[in-house]
């Protein structure tokens, strides 16, 4: 190495140091983002641990039960079945629990969520692929309908607080607040499906009359079957969004800048369009995002009542048939989606709300 | 007045840093107080004035023990103190605090009686209810809120601002403190009521020989209450001038104090001010990036190269002034008094 | 001399405590009835509680099956008619009230207790304690509660209302904990709490006598909300058939009627009775919580 002479060049730190400092500055500038991501990862990790150990609490010698079932369904000798059961369950009673956990996490990272022991080749991944779209279909349509309807109505009644519309809205909120979506579903099914026979009561489409695909018959049939689930869910949820939007708008309408807008002579319509809507919607968008995440939990009861083949129904069925490994995979998937969607909402929200600064 | 007594409380070379919140990857340090020295004698009223953000509230909180200074020493009653619950001081409640916002300083779900009862009970655990009631009655008559039953059963939001402020004073003196720090106690009160509150404080100071540290940004109330006491003028966390209040107001020596006094308009056509503030700029320095030299330099009309080095205190006949270039600053009285 | 003095001191002390409790109860009732909404809500819930306690005594449930009496129409003897096994529906509903309310109240008490303690701890102490508790809270808020309920219900059969309450509490305390923590943190920085430290008050006193009274209103409202939520959860679990420990519990009746086929109008009607009972309770709880909210926060009076 040459001797460093006392001049400008020698003062420059090495490239390595410069790179390191740049990385540090990058982290510091985006503190908010990284802390949120880190926190989500931590939550995800702890959720995994929680679910894993929850499953370990299964009473009875589950391996034995599985082995017997495998023996029966696949015609294997008992020892072979036992080995297979151990493999499928990721549960060797003789194995160290930490080693088992690490194996499980390894599998998770590879994308394996768990395999069923009842049917060969059926894994949680497959089920998600098959069932998730249906769940998302009815849940998100219901969510969107109720959100937009609720926001529109909420904004409308917030500006006419003493009118009859507001009283009706309050009554609606009170009633729908008291009825959970599944009870509403029961009522709807009883009334429209069983008694009046307008809508079908079960399933997502009629296997016998239509074939899946992009033909108009199929699509109409699907909509026909989806009508009641979506309707019952939407009716109840609309009440919630009306309440939220109305509350948010009333808060905004009471503020000083609205007062001065009125003093300046702006019409209620302009006020609504330019000030109220945007400001009131901000926190609601966050709620919407979170609600969207919650969709992945699947509306278990709704699907159970309509026998709609979604994730929720799948989880229920598999729980009763003791297919716990798949259940764990499905629940983990739901939890992971909720965490991820919440993270996205957290990251996007500062972009739309200038009051929440990053870092 | 400074006499040969030992000071009640001494702050020596107090420095206070705050960290900017957030992940500490290279934290930003806010240097709120710099090398503050203050002696408070028993029975004395010391006024601390300065603009918002100069650190006077922080100073008040350090004196009461709510903040621990980043460096420096605090001496109380001749003993060194480190923090609020120092065992050497038997119940640090000898230093009490009166807050600026009387509404926020009282627990909204507790009646006045309960708010006064609690601290007394904490201090005198063995007292019976009747004794505490007696003491509360004493206090209510001292602050002038009679008949007391009318006030004791009420909640804070049912009283007026002036009444609440008096309750705060009653609460502060209920623990027989030796020193009370009052943080802008009258700034949220109607002007017409301020006098009665200030008189009350002067009375307490005279009758009970309690020292007061009166923090404010308002010169007129300060002059009234510390009429025979000292004043410390703060700027950006440093005490730039301290001395007898009459002298400092009439003949301020530090350029900042001069600007401060001249900024107060006097509604008397005889006292025509100079029309412009003797300042170079209106920008206030930053607490995050302190230079080694004088913090006032960028606004000072009399700055020179000496002002970039570390600044020393100069003792004049009226005050102790933090300035390196004092000879250049005019020293005539601001307004001719008759 | 000493003994009698101690005895009378003891008696006066107990008398004082009773007087305090009496005053507390009076204040409690006055607060409940001060607002029209909360008055109605509270009265209805009170009615349910009375029915739960007294009902089975007045109208005992007799589980002898008598198929001859299948699907009788409502009459004086059977105000709600009979079901498919000839059992009186009215008495079933009455008998199930106790189990339903037990779940609701136990869950509420447990969740509130856990949420408040951890929320205050997390907010007041701060530091790593706060971070740990908040991470745990986050987990319970992220994991979808219902599938886990089903998992746990399948794994550990639910046999008593208390077990059910325990299970539902696991997910109910998290929201309350976070909200209380936020309030405690803001209270901690408030002037009147800071001055408590200057006045040398003990931490215990600050937490119990200064901070908690500020939280009472929030806790009261949440108590009612958890009552609602726990009934929803427990009925939901019963609808899937995983908690049939009490055949007269309302959720179980609904599930049984469903299983029997809702094509049959009779079954529908039988299902409606407990359903309406649930709905009325929910509406009452909603009104009570809104009423309490309004008394605490008069600015919220919308209508």
Element at A339 (helix H, strand E)? helix A324-352
CB A140 within 8 A of CB A233: no
Nearest CA in chain C to A57: C155
**Residue A116: which of A328, A309, A354, A335 has the closest Cα?**
A328
pLDDT tens by residue, A152-182: 888 888 887 778 888 888 888 888 888 887 8
- Which residues of chain A neighbour C282 with C-beta distances below 8 Å? 177-180
Residue B36 or residue A92, greater confidence: B36
* Residues B166 and B139: beta-carbon distance below 8 Å: no
Q: Which residues of B51-125 form beta strands (DSSP E)?
A: 71-76, 79-81, 95-98
Q: Which two tokens stand for residue C2?
A: 């000493």
Inter-chain residue contact B23 with A31, CB threshold 8 Å? yes
Query: Mean pLDDT for chain C?
Result: 81
Q: What percent of chain A has pLDDT over 90?
A: 2
Q: Which of A55, A166, A179 sits opposite C279 (nearest CB)?
A: A179
Percentage of the residues of chain B whose pLDDT score is greater than 70: 88
What is the bridge-based pairing of β-strands B211-216 and B45-49? parallel
Q: Which residues of C touch B63 (CB under 8 A)?
A: none
A136 lies within 8 A of chain C by CB: no
CB contacts under 8 A, A 200-229 vs C, are: none
Q: Which two tokens stand for residue B57?
A: 């509230």
Across the interface, of C200, C205, C210, the residue whose CB is closest to B93 is: C200
* B-chain residues near C196 (CB < 8 A): 118
Q: Give the CA angle between residues A265, A271, A276 to the nearest 5°.
A: 150
Non-local (6+) Cβ contacts of B144 within 8 A are: B166, B196, B200
Residues of C (116-145) whose Cβ lies below 8 Å from A: 135-136, 138-139, 142-145
ipTM of this model?
0.73
**pLDDT tens for residues A342-353?**
888 888 877 777
Q: What's the token pair of residue B15? A: 């420095």
CB contact under 8 A, C142 and A339: yes
Structure confidence at residue A29 as a pLDDT band (50, 70, 90): low
Say whether residue C244 is in contact with chain A using an 8 A CB cutoff. no
* Interface list for chain A against chain B, based on CB atoms closer than 8 Å: 24, 27-28, 31, 35, 359
Q: Which residues of C touch A236 (CB under 8 A)?
A: none
Q: Does B282 touch chain A (CB under 8 A)?
A: no
Structure tokens at A32: 């908010």
Shortest Cα distance, chain C CAs vs residue B120, angstroms: 9
Contact between chains at C198 and B96 (C-beta distance less than 8 A): yes
Mean pLDDT computed over B163-192 = 87
Chain B neighbors (3+ CB pairs < 8 Å): A, C
pLDDT tier at A4, thresholds 50, 70, 90: very low
pLDDT band at C115 (very low <50, low <70, confident <90, very high): very high
CA C216 to CA C120: how far, in whole Å?
13
At B20 the pLDDT is 67
pLDDT 10s digits, C180-202: 998 888 888 888 888 888 887 88
Which residues fall within 8 angstroms of residue B229, CB to CB, at 6 or more apart? B1, B44, B45, B46, B47, B244, B245
Q: Look at residue B60 and tell me whether its pLDDT is greater than 80.
A: yes
Please give the pLDDT value at position B87.
46
Q: For chains B and C, what is the number of CB pairs under 8 angstroms?
A: 55
**Which chain C residues contact residue B86 at CB under 8 A?**
none
Q: Does C275 touch chain A (CB under 8 A)?
A: yes
Domains of chain B, residue spans: 9-18+29-94+176-268
Q: How much is the pLDDT for B144?
A: 81
Task: Give C242's contacts in chain A (Cβ within 8 Å).
Answer: 319-320
**CB of C269 within 8 Å of any CB in chain A?**
no
Decide if B118 and C205 are in contact by the 8 Å CB cutoff. yes
> What token pair was written down for B6?
């030992």
Q: Tokens 């350029």 identify what position?
A: B255
| pLDDT in the model for residue B1 | 44
pLDDT in tens, B171-185: 988 888 888 999 988
Range C33-302: architecture per CATH: Orthogonal Bundle (1.10)
Residue ranges per structural domain of chain C: 33-302
The answer on pLDDT for A190 being more than 50 is yes
Confirm or reject contact between B176 and chain C (CB < 8 A).
no
Which residue of C199, C213, C216 is in closest CB contact with B122? Answer: C199
CB nearest to B104's CB, from C192, C196, C210: C192
Structure tokens of B295? 């913090």
- For A157-191, b/e burial (b = at least 16 CB within 10 A) is bbbeeeeeebeebbebbbbbbbbbbbbbbbbbbbe
Chain B residue numbers touching C214 (CB-CB < 8 A): 107-109
Subunit partners of chain A (3 or more CB pairs within 8 A): B, C
Strand, coil or helix: A309: coil
Instruction: Give the separation between CA A61 and CA B137, rounded to whole angstroms.
Output: 74
By Cβ distance, the residue of C144, C152, C271 closest to A334 is C144
Cβ atoms of C95 and C248 closer than 8 Å:
yes
| Number of other residues whose CB lies within 10 A of the CB of residue A313 | 24
CB contact under 8 A, C191 and B175: no
How many angstroms away from the CA of A43 is the closest CA of chain B?
19
Cβ atoms of A262 and A271 within 8 Å: the answer is yes
Q: Which strand (E) or helix (H) includes residue A72?
A: helix A62-74
Q: Average pLDDT in the A237-259 region?
A: 84
Asked if residues A133 and A124 have their Cβ atoms less than 8 Å apart, the reply is no
> Do residues B116 and B172 make contact, with C-beta atoms less than 8 angstroms apart?
no
Straight-line distance from the first to the last Cα atom of chain A, in angstroms, rounded to the nearest whole number:
42
Strands B29-40 and B9-19: antiparallel
Query: Distance (Å) from the C-alpha of residue B68 to the closest C-alpha of chain C?
Result: 13
Burial zone of C3 (CB within 10 Å; 0-12 exposed, 13-18 middle, 19+ buried): exposed
Partner residue opposite C139 with nearest CB, options A50, A294, A320? A50
Distance, in angstroms, between C208 CA and closest chain B CA? 12
Higher-confidence residue of A356 and B49: namely: B49
pTM: 0.77
Q: Do C275 and A183 touch (CB under 8 A)?
A: yes
Q: What digits encode the pLDDT tens for the residues B328-338? A: 777 777 765 54
Q: In chain B, which residues have their Cβ closer than 8 Å to the Cβ of C213?
A: 107, 109-110
What architecture is domain B9-18+29-94+176-268? Answer: 3-Layer(aba) Sandwich (3.40)
């Amino acid at each position: 190495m040459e001797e460093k002479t006392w001049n400008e060049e020698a003062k420059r730190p090495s490239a390595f140091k410069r790179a390191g400092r740049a990385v540090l500055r990058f982290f510091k500038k985006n503190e908010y983002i990284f802390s949120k991501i880190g926190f989500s990862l931590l939550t995800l990790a702890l959720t995994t641990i929680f679910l894993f150990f929850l499953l370990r609490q299964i009473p009875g010698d589950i391996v034995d039960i599985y082995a017997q079932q495998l023996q029966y369904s696949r015609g294997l000798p008992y020892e072979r079945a036992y080995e297979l059961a151990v493999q499928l369950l990721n549960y060797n009673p003789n194995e160290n629990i930490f080693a088992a956990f690490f194996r499980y996490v390894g599998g998770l990272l590879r994308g394996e969520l768990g395999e069923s022991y009842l049917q060969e080749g059926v894994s949680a991944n497959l089920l998600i692929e098959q069932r998730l779209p249906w769940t998302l279909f009815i849940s998100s349509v219901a969510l969107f309908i109720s959100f937009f309807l609720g926001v529109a109505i909420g904004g409308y009644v917030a500006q006419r607080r003493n009118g009859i519309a507001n009283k009706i809205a309050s009554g609606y909120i009170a009633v729908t607040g008291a009825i959970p979506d599944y009870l509403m579903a029961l009522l709807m099914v009883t009334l429209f499906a069983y008694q009046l026979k307008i809508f079908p009561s079960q399933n997502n489409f009629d296997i016998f009359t239509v074939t899946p695909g992009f033909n108009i018959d199929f699509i109409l049939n699907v909509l026909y079957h989806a009508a009641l689930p979506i309707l019952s869910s939407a009716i109840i949820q609309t009440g919630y969004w009306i309440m939220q939007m109305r509350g948010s708008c009333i808060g905004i309408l009471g503020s000083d800048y609205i007062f001065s807008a009125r003093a300046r002579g702006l019409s209620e319509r302009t006020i609504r369009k330019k000030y109220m809507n945007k400001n009131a919607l901000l926190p609601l968008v966050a709620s919407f995002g979170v609600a969207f995440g919650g969709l992945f939990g699947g509306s278990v009861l709704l699907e159970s009542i309509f026998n709609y083949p979604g994730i929720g129904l799948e989880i229920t069925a598999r729980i009763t048939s003791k297919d716990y490994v798949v259940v764990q995979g499905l629940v983990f998937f739901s939890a992971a989606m909720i965490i991820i969607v919440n993270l996205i909402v957290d990251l996007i929200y500062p972009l739309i709300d200038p009051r929440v600064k990053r870092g | 007045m400074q006499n040969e007594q030992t000071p009640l409380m001494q702050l020596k070379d107090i420095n206070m840093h705050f960290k900017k919140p957030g992940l500490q990857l290279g934290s930003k340090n806010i240097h709120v107080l710099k090398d503050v020295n203050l002696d408070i004698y028993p029975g004395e009223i010391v006024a601390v004035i300065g603009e918002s953000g100069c650190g006077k509230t922080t100073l008040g909180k350090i004196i009461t023990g709510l903040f621990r200074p980043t460096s420096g020493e605090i001496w109380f009653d001749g003993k060194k103190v480190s923090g609020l619950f120092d065992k050497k001081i038997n119940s640090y409640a000898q230093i009490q605090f009166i807050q600026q916002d009387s509404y926020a300083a009282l627990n909204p779900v507790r009646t006045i009686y309960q708010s006064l009862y609690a601290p007394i009970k904490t201090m005198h655990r063995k007292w019976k209810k009747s004794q505490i009631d007696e003491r509360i009655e004493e206090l209510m008559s001292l602050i002038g809120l009679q008949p007391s039953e009318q006030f004791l059963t009420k909640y804070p939001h049912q009283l007026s601002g002036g009444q609440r402020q008096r309750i705060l004073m009653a609460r502060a003196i209920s623990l027989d403190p030796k020193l009370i720090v009052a943080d802008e106690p009258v700034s949220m009160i109607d002007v017409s009521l301020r006098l009665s509150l200030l008189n009350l404080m002067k009375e307490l100071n005279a009758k009970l020989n309690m020292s007061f540290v009166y923090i404010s940004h308002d010169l007129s109330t300060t002059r009234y209450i510390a009429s025979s006491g000292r004043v410390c003028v703060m700027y950006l966390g440093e005490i730039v001038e301290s001395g007898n209040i009459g002298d400092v107001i009439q003949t301020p020596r530090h350029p900042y104090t001069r600007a401060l006094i001249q900024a107060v308009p006097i509604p008397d056509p005889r006292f025509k001010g100079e029309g412009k503030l003797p300042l170079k700029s209106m920008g206030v320095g930053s607490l995050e990036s302190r230079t080694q030299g004088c913090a006032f330099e960028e606004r000072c009309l009399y700055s020179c190269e000496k002002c970039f080095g570390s600044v020393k205190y100069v003792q004049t006949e009226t005050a102790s002034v933090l300035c390196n270039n004092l000879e250049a600053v005019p020293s005539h009285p601001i307004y001719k008094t008759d | 001399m000493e003994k009698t003095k101690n005895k009378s001191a003891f008696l006066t002390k107990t008398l004082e405590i009773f007087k305090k409790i009496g005053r507390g109860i009076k204040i409690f009732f006055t607060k409940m009835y001060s607002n029209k909404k909360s008055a109605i809500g509270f009265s209805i819930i009170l009615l349910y509680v009375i029915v739960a306690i007294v009902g089975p005594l007045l109208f005992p449930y007799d589980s002898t099956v008598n198929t001859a009496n299948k699907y009788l129409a409502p009459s004086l003897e059977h105000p709600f008619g009979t079901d498919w096994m000839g059992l009186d529906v009215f008495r079933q509903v009455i008998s199930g009230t106790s189990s339903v309310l037990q779940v609701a109240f136990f869950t509420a008490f447990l969740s509130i207790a856990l949420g408040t303690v951890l929320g205050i701890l997390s907010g007041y102490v701060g530091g790593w304690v706060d971070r740990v508790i908040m991470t745990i809270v986050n987990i319970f808020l992220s994991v979808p509660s219902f599938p886990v309920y089903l998992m746990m219900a399948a794994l550990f059969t639910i046999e008593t209302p208390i077990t059910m309450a325990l299970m539902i509490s696991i997910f109910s305390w998290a929201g309350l904990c976070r909200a209380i923590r936020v309030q405690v943190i803001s209270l901690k920085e408030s002037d009147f709490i800071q001055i408590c430290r200057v006045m040398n008050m003990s931490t215990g006193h600050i937490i119990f006598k200064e901070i908690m009274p500020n939280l009472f209103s929030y806790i009261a409202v949440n108590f009612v909300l958890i009552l609602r939520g726990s009934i929803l959860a427990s009925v939901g679990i019963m609808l899937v058939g995983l908690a049939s420990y009490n055949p007269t519990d309302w959720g179980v009746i609904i599930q049984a009627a469903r299983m029997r086929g809702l094509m049959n109008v009779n079954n529908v009607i039988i299902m409606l009775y407990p359903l309406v009972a649930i709905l009325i309770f929910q509406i009452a709880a909603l009104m009570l919580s809104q009423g309490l909210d309004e008394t605490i926060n008069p600015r919220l009076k919308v209508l």
